[in-house]
Amino acid sequence: MSHRLTPRMWLTAFSGIARRETLRFVSQRGRFLAALVRPLVWLFIFAAGFRAVLGLSITPPYQTYVLYEVYVTPGLCAMIQLFNGMQSSLSMVYDRETGAMRTLLVSPFPRWFLLASKLVAGVIVSLIQVYVFLAIAWFWDVRPPVIGYLTALPALFLTGLMFGAMGLFLSSTIRQLENFAGVMNFVIFPMFFASSALYPLWRMNESSTLLHDICAINPFTHAVELIRFALYARFDLLSFLVVSGCLILFFAGAVFMYDPAKGLWARRKGGA
């Protein structure tokens, strides 16, 4: 039936999903403030304390010694996107419990398009949050090259898609809304702390080779490094490949799990 859909219908469906996501975000002002409070606390309080005890040598892409606040900023941008991806997926669990998700999935549009539309809408919301954070950080002397704010946009979009796809996949495995908060904490904090968001990988290697290896394979690390290099108009090929591969993997898993004949709904029917 999808071959009968006109381009106007595809655009209308996407704009409707994007508008719904945007209105939900606008109506939840606490969500916007919470998304900024977490990274700002790290930037203003924790980074100020760590600056005195943690020295940073010249680490790519930086050309000279940088303050700790400058180093952690890309990781805090990724933190905003990770939390937003989880929050957006939380709404999927809620919509599934209320029946709105079933109505959406039985529409004539392909399932991958519906999930991708919600994914892109969520990323647009996260980009707004990230750039507001970067604007505030500018007054805290975190000032990458002006061109970096533009070159970081594709990297932020790609990492936002990866985190959103991961959230979609996780939401497809959660059957009850109250269980999702625990899963969020189980995923978010290990990913954030076991990454290069707070410390360079070479410093991790000095303390524990095992911890270094865990951080090196963590997708969050590669998301942070992709953003870090992009803020200085540089391209990290390895991080790009890892983030792109994880995006494809998570999104394919989400599409499969939301298939009524194969994924979550099939398990429910079989269990009944």
pLDDT (tens digit per residue) in 22-70: 777 766 666 667 778 888 888 888 777 776 656 565 677 887 778 888 8
Exposure string of 107-143, with b = 16+ CB inside 10 Å and e = fewer, is eebebebbbbbbbbbbbebbbebbbebbeebeebebe
**What number of other Cβ atoms are within 10 A of residue 171's Cβ?**
26
* Residue whose token pair is 């655009």: 11
Spatial CB neighbours of 66, under 8 Å, sequence gap ≥ 6: 56, 59
Q: Long-range contacts of range 197-201, CB-CB < 8 Å, 24 or more positions apart?
A: 197/72, 197/74, 197/75, 197/76, 197/78, 197/79, 197/221, 197/224, 198/50, 198/72, 198/75, 199/54, 200/56, 200/59, 200/71
pLDDT score of 223 more than 80: yes
- The reported pLDDT for the residue numbered 270 is 46
In this predicted structure, which of 59-68, 132-141, 147-156, 244-253 has the lowest mean pLDDT? 59-68
Contact between 66 and 54 under an 8 Å Cβ cutoff? The reply is no
Alpha-carbon gap, residue 138 to 134, rounded angstroms: 6
- The reported pLDDT for the residue numbered 133 is 94
Query: What tens digit of pLDDT does each residue of 227-261 get?
Result: 999 999 999 999 999 999 999 999 999 888 877 66
Contact between 28 and 87 under an 8 Å Cβ cutoff? The reply is no
Q: Which of 10-14, 32-36, 114-118, 158-162 shows the highest mean pLDDT?
A: 158-162
More confident residue, 85 or 230: 230
pLDDT score of 264 more than 60: no
- The reported pLDDT for the residue numbered 241 is 97
Taking the model in full, what pTM does it have? 0.85
Alpha-carbon gap, residue 21 to 160, rounded angstroms: 15
